[in-house]
Structure 1
Amino acid sequence: MQPKRLLWGLGLLGMGLFIGILFLLVQANAPESTPDENTSTEKQPLNWKVEDFTYTDQNGEPFTRSDLEGKVWIADLIFTNCNTVCPPMTANMARLQKKMKEAGVEAEIVSFSIDPERDTPKALKRFGEKHGADFSNWHFLTGYSFEEIQQFADASFHMNLQHNPDNDQVIHGTGFYLVSPKGRVLYQYNGMKPDLEEIIRDIQDLHETKGE
């Protein structure tokens, strides 16, 4: 019995070695993989058109899309009574504003209120001051109905706004949106954890290409 077991073991070992060598030969002769020529890691612009608007800023003054014509701008949608995502979003936007100034990068910032019944110009100004906003290029807007901003958010930023049936909050997205001088949304970023350097690079690229 022992010789038979020995022969059986040697046979299995030999078969294993043969399969291993065959696998290595196949791998060595396999063609190198090449990237798909049609695949690009380059970020593609969203190219959403921002609808025309005439709203009211934190100073009680009219503010329209025409005021942003020819300018690069960043948008978000917030409300002052928000008890979840809006405070950190606004804090992040303030950080972005500071970094843009340090880098010498020019862009307007527009925060649309999605609770216009509560968010008067004074309430928005207090909210902005609380978060250290520089109002020279940061505009907090109100002066419309909830239905109007709901339609505007959907058409311009593809964002769905809904009243929370269980409380006084508004359910909304947390995006930051980069808008070209031609009024087109190009890129969306996570407003809760934005890559500030990426946003600044994208703004710089827009300036270099003159918004094309």
Structure 2
Amino acid sequence: MKFRFTVIMLVITILLLSACGKKEIKNAVDWPIKDFSATNQDNKSFGLKDLKGKVWISDFIFTSCADVCPPMTQHVAKLQKMVKDNGLKNVEFVSFSVDPSVDSPEGLARYAKQFQADFTNWTFLTGYTQQFIENYAMTNYKAFVKKPDEGSQVIHQTYLYLIDQKGHIRKSYNGFNNVPYDEIIHDIKALQ
């Protein structure tokens, strides 16, 4: 009887201790992302299969953006450095162009270099139609993207999205100002 009680207490203790170390994502969502076919800054094919098994952060930008995209891209560059400084592995960054008829792979590469983007784990995407990215953003990210008939500025939301290893969006964050860097790093760690 005493042995049985000791075993039960040991199991309970192990379960409690393992639960204490587990990190949790507050206000998490679970939105699956559908596959996509795009071209990266190196003019190579890229899709969801290239991200399988990795945690990733994605956003929507375009190279001729006059206001929100440069600060957003700078914030992602800072996050990329923080991920490296924290020794986090299998974390990718993906920036979808919302102006694919203007943003060529070469143009995206030039834009990314302005922010010292490290292409080993940061991919900039184009090579799809305007209609595709508008529909894809709304359907998968619940994000508004619209290129007006007049002018060169594409209207889009300024969130950063955390996606898990299965290709499910788990959370979104303000990507333009007051970016919660520490919270994002915490949430990446929670998924690993």
TM-score, normalised with respect to structure 1? 0.76
Tell me how far apart the structure 1 counterparts of residues 118 and 38 of structure 2 sit (CA, whole Å): 19
Structure 2: runs of 5 or more not aligned: 1-24
Amino acid at match of 1:73: W
- Give CA deviations for 1:140-161 in whole Å, capped at 9, x if unaligned: 0000110001111011110111
Secondary structure class of the residue paired with 2:79 = helix
In structure 1, the residue matched to 2:3 is none
Secondary structure class of the residue paired with 2:64 = coil
Q: Which residue, 79, 83, 86 being the options, matches 2:66?
A: 83
8 Å contact 2:56–2:92 — kept in the other structure? yes
State the Cα distance separating 1:165 from its structure 2 match.
Answer: 4.8
Q: Which is greater in Rg?
A: 1
1:58 aligns with 2:38: no
Secondary structure class of the residue paired with 2:170 = strand
Q: Which has the higher strand share?
A: 2
In structure 2, the residue matched to 1:103 is 86
8 Å contact 1:105–1:200 — kept in the other structure? no
In structure 1, the residue matched to 2:129 is 145
- Give CA deviations for 1:160-204 in whole Å, capped at 9, x if unaligned: 111245521011000000000011000000001211111011001
Amino acid at match of 2:188: I
Q: Which residue, 163, 167, 176 being the options, matches 1:183?
A: 167
Amino acid at match of 2:32: K
Across the aligned residues of Structure 1 and Structure 2, the Cα RMSD in angstroms comes to: 1.1
- Give CA deviations for 1:34-80 in whole Å, capped at 9, x if unaligned: xxxxxxxx723211111101110000000110010111000000000
Tell me how far apart the structure 1 counterparts of residues 46 and 146 of structure 2 sit (CA, whole Å): 25
In structure 2, the residue matched to 1:30 is none
Amino acid at match of 1:93: V
TM-score, normalised with respect to structure 2? 0.84
**Deviation above 4 Å: which 4+ runs of structure 1?**
none
Task: Tell me the percent identity.
Answer: 43
